[in-house]
Structure 1
Amino acid sequence: MNLRGIVAVSGRPGLFKLVGQNKAGYVLEGLDAQKVKIVANISTTKLASLEDITVYGEDEDLKLVDVLANIAAAKGNVPDAKADGATLKTFFEEVAPGHDTEKVYTSDMKKIVTWFHLLKDLPLFTEQPAEATAADVAKPEEKTDKKPKAAAKPSNAKAPSKTAQPAKKANMTSKKGV
């Protein structure tokens, strides 16, 4: 399962695909039917990649990727996110054995089931996680002693005027004389 680039945004329902980044923030596209594109502010918005999310476990935390894979294997038994708490708890005992029943709330279970229903139609469950290949690993190690070429100056950039430099010097000398 490959969940790279799929994020949950704090304060917004649903899941988003990280499309890019600009000066204002992250460019996100909704995974729902509307495909809404938003720009989430870098400084105020918290993004959580689904690859990095874990579920509280009794001994050790369970990766969300593994829980979603178990839900996908359960095929026809997946309840609706609006199901009652008892149904979700018994379902989670099957798909996430060893989860901490005191720390994992029914609302968390509903959120994970909702996310599964958003992701089940996408080809994410058949894709393999992106792993570094030998060629990708070799590229960063191949460093040369060559200096990078100087960047070309944009054509709309103004050259510093010759009069500006002597004026600065004049100000500096006048300060010394005072």
Structure 2
Amino acid sequence: MNLQAIVAVSGKPGLWKALVQNKTGFILESLDAQKTKMVANLSTAKMAALDEITVFGEDEDIKLTDILERMKSAASVPDAKADGKALRNFFREVAPEHDEEKVYSSDIKKIITWFNILKDLPLFNEEVKTAAKAPVTEEAPVAQEIVTETPKKAKAPKAEEAETPAEEAEKAPKAKKAAVKKA
């Protein structure tokens, strides 16, 4: 079931297909017979992609796509206008691990309404397209190159600047003391 780009917009009935994204939001087309189009502003409209919606479960949340798959194979789907007990009994069949305290009958009605909209669409029976992965082949590990650095040659001081070893030893302790005082 390929539900990518199918969204529900809060405050708007039905389901919508996201056609194009512009600066301020999305251009949506309804999935009903009228095929009405609207611009959903991201700052004012709340949209939820159907492939990302989950339903509260007892242990962990249940993906809506899994519930819709089970509804597809169910013997009969009740009408969304049926009474709450019939809807709850049906939902126990297709999502037995849902949390009955957190999932309201209005949520079940909405899911059944969405199923009735989607079941006749070709994308409902279409598989999700995933990126083709290249076959993994095992190769012999490449030997890592060992890089050794050659020490840089120190420039020999000019004859005028040349210091005797005694002068160098005398300067070294003074430099350490100066560094300690600064710290």
Q: TM-score, normalised by structure 2?
A: 0.71
The residue number in structure 1 matching 2:45 is 45
Tell me, in whole angstroms, the C-alpha distance in 2 between the residues paired with 1:62 and 1:24.
32
Tell me, in whole angstroms, the C-alpha distance in 2 between the residues paired with 1:95 and 1:59.
16
The residue number in structure 2 matching 1:8 is 8
Structure 1 position 127, deviation (Å): 1.0
Structure 1 position 22, deviation (Å): 1.8
Tell me, in whole angstroms, the C-alpha distance in 1 between the residues paired with 2:78 and 2:114.
12
User: Does 1:112 pair with 2:108?
Assistant: no
The residue number in structure 1 matching 2:124 is 125
Structure 1 position 134, deviation (Å): 2.7
The residue number in structure 2 matching 1:150 is none
Identity of matched residues, %: 63
Is the radius of gyration larger for structure 1 or structure 2?
A: 2
Structure 1 position 133, deviation (Å): 1.4
* AA in 2 matched with 1:130: K
Structure 1 position 47, deviation (Å): 1.1
Structure 1 position 73, deviation (Å): 0.4
2:112 is paired with a residue whose SS is helix
How many corresponding residue pairs? 134
Cα RMSD, aligned residues only:
1.1
1:17-96 equivalences in 2 (<5 Å): 17-75=17-75, 77-96=76-95
Structure 1 position 42, deviation (Å): 1.8
The runs of 5 or more residues in structure 2 that have no matched partner are 135-183
The runs of 5 or more residues in structure 1 that have no matched partner are 136-178
Structure 1 position 25, deviation (Å): 2.2
**Does the CA contact (< 8 Å) of 1:69 and 1:125 recur in 2?**
no
Tell me, in whole angstroms, the C-alpha distance in 2 between the residues paired with 1:96 and 1:31.
25
Deviations 1:46-77 (A, max 9, x none): 110000000000011100000001001014x1
* Superposition misfits of 4+ residues, deviation over 3 angstroms: none
Deviations 1:61-119 (A, max 9, x none): 100000001001014x1001000000000000000110000000000000000000000
2:88 is paired with a residue whose SS is helix
